[in-house]
Amino acid sequence: MKISESGLIGQSVARTDIIDKVTGCAVFVDDIQFGPNLLHSRLVRSPHPHALIKKIDTSKALALDGVRAVVTGQELSARMGLYLIDRPIFAADRVRYYGEPVAGVVATTEEIAVQAARLVEIEYQPLPAIYDPVEAVQPEAPLLHPDLGEYSVANFIFPEPGTNISEHFKIRKGDIESAWEQCAVVAEDRFRLPSIEHVPLETHTSIALSETNGEVTLWASSQSPFAMRDMIAQGLGIPHNKLRVIAPMVGGGFGGKAGVTMEACAVVMAQAVPGHPVKLRLTREEEFVGTSVRQSLVSDIKVGCDKDGNLLAMELTYYFGGGAYNDYGVNIARAAGYSCTGPYDVPNVKADSLCVYTNYPVGSAMRGFGMPEIHWGLEQIMDQLAEKVDLDPAEFRRLNCVRTDDEIVSGMKMTPINLEACIDKVTEAIDWGKEEKPTAPNKKRGKGIAIMWKAPAMPPNPGSAAVVRFNEDATVNVEIGGQELGQGSFTVAAQIAADVLGVPYRKVTVSSPIDTKYSPYEWQTVASRLTWSMGNAVKAAAEDARKQILETVADHWDEDVDDLTIKDGLVISFKSEREQPLDKMVIYGLPNEDFEGWKGGPVVGRGHFMPTYVTNLDPETGQGTRAVVHYTVGAQAVDLEVDLDTGQIDVLKIASVYDVGRAINPDLIMTQIEGGAVHGMSSAYESLKFNENGEPINPSFVDYRIATIADIPGKIIGDFVETPIEDGPWGARGVGEHVMVQTAPAIANALYNAVGIRFSDLPLSADKIYLALDEKLAQER
């Protein structure tokens, strides 16, 4: 990918259109909704990974016919961020990664905006760049954020001003030094993961409209409309009631459409042309550098056990490559810190989890939120340790896995789980222990296993709200602020409401799109939290509506509420066997005797949920009463073949089992398991590659390897375990992200079982495997 001297990436222009049946002419979809006042924009991006901005000249761009405005960071002092407010909307005094927005051009057409962006002249003074997070923590490394000590930060994030460390989370549990003396066997290794991209089919697109009265409306493909409103409002000084975010269903998110990426740029450009909606659409090439990526990670792991395989000690250092801005990424390092051991009972632990500034694109949320990264090394080191102590990998995990009420690494008691049952189910599914013949003489076959845990990684008090509203015919509208990403959140919300209200599911509709002006509050659609948190809110709202209905009918019949229920849209009395349809009464109420007045009225249920029991952790030890709301655990086993002539992996079977608490919709769980298995497999193959200038060299589907239908395993076996938790709706918890957390190490463990080679670095590309096989063969000769 090349940024021209004008700072443009991907200069193609594409617009969706339909054909008007009367005129036969093309009508742009945008024009239908927004009219002829719609303007278009492009961003001017930095061609340097680290440089001072000495001068910006916009005069030639402004002189071009059709250009309405050019905005730059030199006109803004705003910073934004979710946990650490470190990120400018447009770079002002320096750029910190290749592709960082420096200016924005607004014009009457996208073609003119592209042309004008080439005319913006920017003078840079290049500075030394740093890319490796281990190198970036060294005292001699270039300092990327000299003002780190002045940034606002959440009270549970601990940056180290004067360094490139934006977060340092510590675990100090037990007596690590004496524990090593008791270990009969020790395994130690370093593991690396590259950055990878979310690659949603729908690229980031926003349209912003700034009215002359100061009100701003932003249409955005977003997982986090309320968080987006909050960050942009605070950064730009807009009252929250003057900023409206409308978020239709999202065409692929995976964490990449959480928080704020390019949407604030659209708002700033719209403010420069009041009364005109301004569209900002990223090209596919821009998607790889102009949004966010999964952070890279270097893991140093040392673990020891006694002669019987019981874990005694673990020492870890995680270096997360957070990229140029770590406003979201700091919480990934924190989550990795308080879950650093993986789902194992380890009495003595020393861990340091660091989020580190580098001159790569912004590292942020991605499906799994730090857990795929740390499990890559954890699950391989456990196999190494099991081999040294001569234990079967599955048995080693059964022996050491965390159980209900165990005191885990953060000092809290483990919430109800049954990880052993998950291990049993996946090993049975792939005939663990049975040696299978490969399908061809030039292939080797192997099996591997990996287990995982993940908690919702979020602040201690993220809230959910819901409204349940009846219509005259007893149909129901459920209003929520959680987003539909294809994971089925609307389906689950409708199911919960229907079950509580006693009405058929087909009569329940979830209102959309999500609109911060009208929708109830939802923190974000992240962390696999909607079934749990939003589900609790919907359940509470439906219970509120149900209570209103039953009280009205009980008063009308002069009966006790406890003798009534609602089934199939009818209020039924167990005592008198009377029935009352919900139709009309849920709006108009019921008449008193002889129609002397009425009782009841429009039924609107309201509910909310917020966890109130999560506590702070000691900043020096990471210990506390309750670090998280709960954990979801699971196991995955893989049966694969390796082609010795090409290094190509062929995954024959993946078995995945997770403890979901309570399965509200088993079919949706299975779709998550199937999609997650493929997504996790893809993450083992993917890698965003950069040249020495910090420039991505594979920013397209031609060069960026993702799993396709040709890679899908021959068989995906999914199942679940139900161990209800105390704080979920009917005991349910989320399972959306967990399904891909441990796939890559399960594949690596199976690969070792097949060919006897360990791979500590991702990706598991065919050429890397082939070269390793060739080297091993040469050594054996």
CA 488 to chain centre: 15
- For the chain, how big is the Rg over CA atoms in Å? 28
Closest-CA residue to 265 (of 137, 87, 390): 87
**∠ Cα 307 313 316 (to 5°):** 135
270 three-class SS:
helix
Q: Which fold has domain 35-127+221-236+256-275?
A: Aldehyde Oxidoreductase; domain 3 (3.90.1170)
Q: What is the pLDDT of residue 415?
A: 97
Where in 115-220 does DSSP place strands (E)?
121-126, 165-173, 185-193, 205-210, 216-220
Largest interatomic CA distance in the chain: 102
User: Using CA atoms, how far apart are residues 318 and 337, in angstroms rounded to an integer?
Assistant: 8
Question: Among this protein's residues, is 123 annotated catalytic?
Answer: no
Distances (CA, A) of 497 to 428, 548, 580, 659: 37, 15, 20, 23
Give how far Cα 487 sits from Cα of 312, 466, 482, 734, Å: 39, 19, 11, 11
CA 568 – CA 510 distance, rounded (Å): 19
Cβ-in-10-Å burial (0-12, 13-18, 19+) of 308 comes to exposed
The C-alpha atoms of residue 7 and residue 70 are separated, in whole angstroms, by 14
Assess if CATH 3.40.50.360 describes domain 18-26+462-609. Answer: no
Which tokens hold the place of 396? 């080693």
Structure tokens at 363: 């590292």
Please check whether the two domains, 35-127+221-236+256-275 and 293-458+615-780, share a CATH topology.
no
Per-residue confidence (pLDDT) for residue 9, from 0 to 100: 65
Domain range annotation of the chain? 18-26+462-609, 35-127+221-236+256-275, 293-458+615-780
Cis, peptide link before residue 513, omega less than 30° from 0:
yes
Q: Which two tokens stand for residue 677?
A: 């298995």
Q: Chunked in runs of 10, what are the mean pLDDT values of the chain (781 residues)?
A: 62 46 45 86 98 98 98 92 98 97 98 98 98 98 98 98 98 98 98 97 96 97 97 98 96 95 98 98 96 98 98 98 98 98 98 98 98 98 98 98 98 98 98 96 98 97 98 98 96 98 98 98 97 98 98 98 98 97 98 96 98 97 98 98 97 98 98 96 98 97 94 96 97 97 98 98 98 93 78
In eight-state DSSP terms, residue 148 is: G
Q: Please tell me the predicted confidence (pLDDT) of residue 19.
A: 46
Q: How far is CA 412 from the centre of its chain?
A: 24
- The CATH number corresponding to 293-458+615-780 among 3.40.50.720, 3.30.70.141, 3.40.190.170, 3.30.365.10 equals 3.30.365.10
Backbone angles phi, psi at 609, to 5 degrees: -150, 140
Per-residue model confidence (pLDDT) at position 1: 62
C-alpha distances in Å from residue 305, one per residue of 317, 334, 393: 19, 26, 14
- Give the pLDDT confidence score for residue 8 in this predicted structure: 66
CA nearest neighbour of 225 among 259, 190, 255, 181:
259
- Burial (CB count <10 Å: 0-12, 13-18, 19+), residue 15: middle
User: DSSP assignment, residue 24?
Assistant: -
Please tell me which residue in 197, 543, 737, 775 is annotated as part of the active site.
Answer: 737
Position 18 scores a pLDDT of: 47
Cα 430 to chain centroid, rounded: 30
